[in-house]
Every structure is written in C-alpha cells, then in structure tokens.
Amino acid sequence: MIDVPMPPDDPANRPHWEAARRSVLLIQRCPACGRCRFPAARSCAHCHHVGGDWIEASGLGVIESFCMFHKAYWPAFQAALPYTVIQVKLREGIRVMSNFVASPGKSPSIGLPVRARFDPVRPDLTLVRFEPHV
Ligand SMILES: [Zn+2]
C-alpha cells in the first residue's frame, strides 16, 4: 500500500470520492443556475442558491496550466519524480487540479485535450488523473 496523503474526510465531498472508486467523475451543479463546481460547496458562488446536485462529468477537458515537480514534498512521491501537476478546464466549465499521466510522444502542454482516468492507489482511495485524449 502506498502511503499517499489522503484527501480530507469531508462528508460534503464523499460522493465524489465514492464515485471515483467506480470510475465515475462526479461534480456538483447548482440546481438554480446550472453552473458546476468542485470541490463541493454548501451554496453556489454565482447565485448564492443553497444546495447542489451531483452530476456525472464528461471527464474531458484541456490543460490550462501545468508544473513539473522535481522535489518530493511527501516521501510517497519520491519514486514518481519528476511528476506533473496540471490544471484542467473540464467541458462543464470548472477547473480541477490533478496529475498528468504521460503516454508515448505526449508531453503536457497548454491546450492539450485530456480525459480522466481512475487510478486506485489504495483500497479506499482512487485518484482521478488525466491522460492525453486525441
Ligand atoms: Zn447557482
């Protein structure tokens, strides 16, 4: 088992993490204005409506920014060096931070189309990462 840092055990975001274990990307959507958000929030930042619905996201987006890490800030990531952290803008209009999983001939670049993949790293944790999508 890899000793990766765990996301906070926040009941508000449990639907997202439970869905990731089933290879489903859930994000929250405001039932009043339709805008999406993640992480979950009690109310909409745009229209202030309280509450939100969970929807299945496409898992498709583009890289808006990325950074290559050459230092392991957690010992569990030492073997993964260097690794790439990316900001992805999903088709649903929200931005998420994640990792880039390279494929032959595909390096991270701004504007690169990516799709979500679901990587179990522990029995109780599946991370949503992104890979090139052509
Ligand atoms: Zn709203």
State pLDDT tens for residues 15-40.
999 999 999 999 999 999 999 999 99
95 and 114 within one domain = yes
- Rounded to two decimals, what is the model's pTM? 0.92
Do 72 and 105 belong together in one domain?
yes
Q: Give me the pLDDT at residue 3, please.
A: 74
Same domain, 41 and 64: no
Distance CA 15, CA 56 (A): 11
Taking the centre of ligand 1 as the mean of its atom positions, its distance from the CA of residue 88, in whole angstroms, is 21
Range of the domain at 133: 58-134
- The answer on 116 and 84 residing in a single domain is yes
92 C-alpha vs ligand 1 centroid, how far in Å? 14
The total number of structural domains that make up the chain: 2
Question: Cα of 25 to ligand 1 centre, how many Å?
Answer: 20
Q: Is 5 a domain residue?
A: no
Protein residues near ligand 1, an ion, with CB under 5 A: 30, 32-33, 44, 46-47, 49
DSSP SS3 for 128: strand
Same domain, 64 and 90: yes
Residues 33 and 96 in one domain: no
Which CATH number goes with the domain that contains 132? 2.40.50
Give the model's pLDDT for residue 2.
58
Asked if the structure places residue 85 within a domain, the reply is: yes
Distance CA 58, CA 91 (A): 7
Whether residue 114 contacts residue 57, with contact meaning beta carbons closer than 8 Å, is answered with no
Same domain, 64 and 124: yes
Task: Supply the pLDDT for residue 21.
Answer: 96
Q: pLDDT tens track of the chain, all 134 residues? A: 557 788 888 899 999 999 999 999 999 999 999 999 999 999 999 999 999 999 999 999 999 999 999 999 988 889 889 999 999 999 999 999 999 998 888 899 999 999 999 999 888 899 999 999 98
